[in-house]
Structure 1
């Protein structure tokens, strides 16, 4: 089971959140629209992946995917979902810096702010989100997924936020670029190092037996590196940096990431433990090249996804149009959307299971040649989710209730 969300403004970050923490009479600062647009875009891609998990869970994909047995439509749908978690985690770090450094005013302490929101995410993962995935009360299995990883990474960022920015940049780069060198290291379940190593770098069971099991899907170490780099990138959005300069820097960062990817991946040098190979067709060759490990995210995975995210942020800098505003609506209420879409999918699945029965073993699902149903269902659900998100985003902007900012 995977999940790809989280949520920089889950956590009430960014200029709007900063305004929300000021006296109620203060004027709210405007949101940075390009961040909301990118967040909204990857949230819709995330919806596609979660519809796939709802209707196609009987045909799960491996990590990395098995090229010979994975249809192209399934492969590229899953590949598109790879962009969600890195973009959200990076934006979480960036938005945390924006909260700590409001555009008009003196820097504010951020440690307590990050700690509270980090622990909130841990709580939500273990309770509300676990239920939204499984529908079980009480839960039989708790999956520690992306919300858990972001919450824990946020707590680490809180503890490290007072360090010099150059030091944080160095630590972030060492983690993101260096963790692949440790990918082959593992420990037996009876080793005292098994639990910390599983939490940091290898997915696996935390509690494998008993009435309540806990399974870790998102090892947190690489995501700590990503959130630190997001914090370090925060000054790109300082009020002293003009849009033209920011676009130029984002383009340079994006192209540098993708250029490095072509060298490292092209020659199978480093950054992905599953080397690419020529396939029987051009499509299979492309699939092999793009077949990155997500759990934990390999360096090539992060170069691809974050490099593309930088280019999209540059493209969205001046995206003042209907499409941009449509996407920004989702990006303005991410945790509300995240929990809401999981609950909606749970209800719809229960209805389908009751009406049609378990046609795929113990589950209801579509046949392998009906993957188009996943795409059609995703498109149909977008307007269903849009109007509640728009209403909640408007309510959040005007409400004086503190709890609203958490969603």
Structure 2
């Protein structure tokens, strides 16, 4: 949805065919390339966690953020990867605002409905079956399903005044943890609906399938709405200095508020405690936060860092790193589907060739090998992603490409 190609600086102030000077176009690229770069950055981080889930699946840890049983490096890496979902969902809301700024409410609504339904179908019919064969057949209602459903809900909410939208987003994000004591069980009235809204749960479905609500959508609706709410900061008539100042203030404010609220240990997530004789695990416990569903304290540092990274990538626009990351961020759905498919093929190939080495699973012997796979796969995954990203820009006449 956002361009990522840089405009040559040496031709500045020459008029373009659309009436804008090249200087205007340079500013537009700087304003929007940072969005693609940040999206690409978190997707590259996400790759690390998906490789862990591929080659370290045999490690019997229910929660990789549990400092009592997880390796410290796994906890720290998981914290870094925690940036992915909040930033991606917030950027989705921001992208919707930018789309809406150039389209009518009816066009935006149609786009959100079609895109949302497509994402939900991809989750059910493509992504969930990828993991069948190593686990009981399950419909994993994960982040793609969540984003799709939130987009459909946003299609209705964007008709509200922007202040009302921001207020609704704040109420949801800040107040949803008050609902945590409500825990339903299969068989209870409204259990499937509550599991989809606010409870990470698993329950039987039909034909031997089960459903896992990994990303209950309530809090993510709030995150997407708030991403939409800051959209006016990114319109063309807002000076870069003004936008960056607002993002820095918001980012630092969220980080400071997180430290204060977490230290109070009273609201927003599960309590943390000092691990006697182990200052490292104590520190990791402070940032060990709940993602399923995402807690208030989980969202504060991740979104705060996201604001600061937006500023960083805007200031680095035109540089090698920003341009490469923007390639990943310019074709997010392609990269997501492609890298998960590659990892499944690699895993099942290794399992077929070498056989299981941890009960029924195959896995590497240490987390160091997870990091090695991560480094080794970035470039091979970049090449086809770059090809598809260029195809999207070159063939704007192919309507379905914009959905990937």
TM-score (norm 2): 0.90
Distance 2:156 2:142 in 1: 22
Match of 1:266 in 2: 263
Q: Is the 2:251–2:308 Cα contact (8 Å) retained in structure 1?
A: yes
Q: Which is worse superposed, 267-276 or 149-158?
A: 267-276
Q: Is the 2:150–2:220 Cα contact (8 Å) retained in structure 1?
A: yes
Q: Is the 2:90–2:227 Cα contact (8 Å) retained in structure 1?
A: yes
1:385 is aligned, of 381, 395, 399, to 381
Calculate the aligned-residue CA RMSD, in Å: 2.3
Distance 1:379 1:224 in 2: 34
Q: Is the 2:129–2:137 Cα contact (8 Å) retained in structure 1?
A: no
Q: How does 1:116-135 map to 2 (within 5 A)?
A: 116-134=114-132
5+ residue gaps, structure 2, are 5-16
Distance 1:207 1:288 in 2: 34
CA displacement 1:145-201 (0-9 Å, x = unmatched) = 000110111111001111000001011000000011111211232111211111100
1:275 is aligned, of 272, 276, 286, to 272
Match of 2:162 in 1: 165
Q: Is the 1:330–1:389 Cα contact (8 Å) retained in structure 2?
A: yes
Match of 2:367 in 1: 371
Counterparts in 2 of 1:252 and 1:362: CA distance versus 1, 3 Å: same
Distance 2:223 2:151 in 1: 11
Aligned length: 382
- Residues 1:154 and 2:151 aligned together: yes
Q: Is the 2:64–2:70 Cα contact (8 Å) retained in structure 1?
A: no
Q: Which is worse superposed, 276-285 or 70-79?
A: 276-285
Please state whether the residue corresponding to 1:57 is helix, strand or coil: coil
1:230 is aligned, of 197, 208, 227, to 227
Match of 1:181 in 2: 178
Please state whether the residue corresponding to 1:67 is helix, strand or coil: coil
Distance 1:55 1:178 in 2: 37
Q: Is the 1:14–1:96 Cα contact (8 Å) retained in structure 2?
A: no
TM-score (norm 1): 0.89
Please state whether the residue corresponding to 1:388 is helix, strand or coil: helix
- Residues 1:200 and 2:197 aligned together: yes
2:321 is aligned, of 323, 327, 331, to 323
Match of 1:4 in 2: none
Distance 1:158 1:371 in 2: 42
Distance 2:329 2:367 in 1: 27
Match of 1:9 in 2: none
Counterparts in 2 of 1:248 and 1:382: CA distance versus 1, 3 Å: same
Q: Is the 2:172–2:218 Cα contact (8 Å) retained in structure 1?
A: yes
Q: Is the 1:34–1:313 Cα contact (8 Å) retained in structure 2?
A: yes
Please state whether the residue corresponding to 2:236 is helix, strand or coil: coil
Distance 2:267 2:188 in 1: 29
C-alpha deviation, 1:228, in angstroms = 0.4
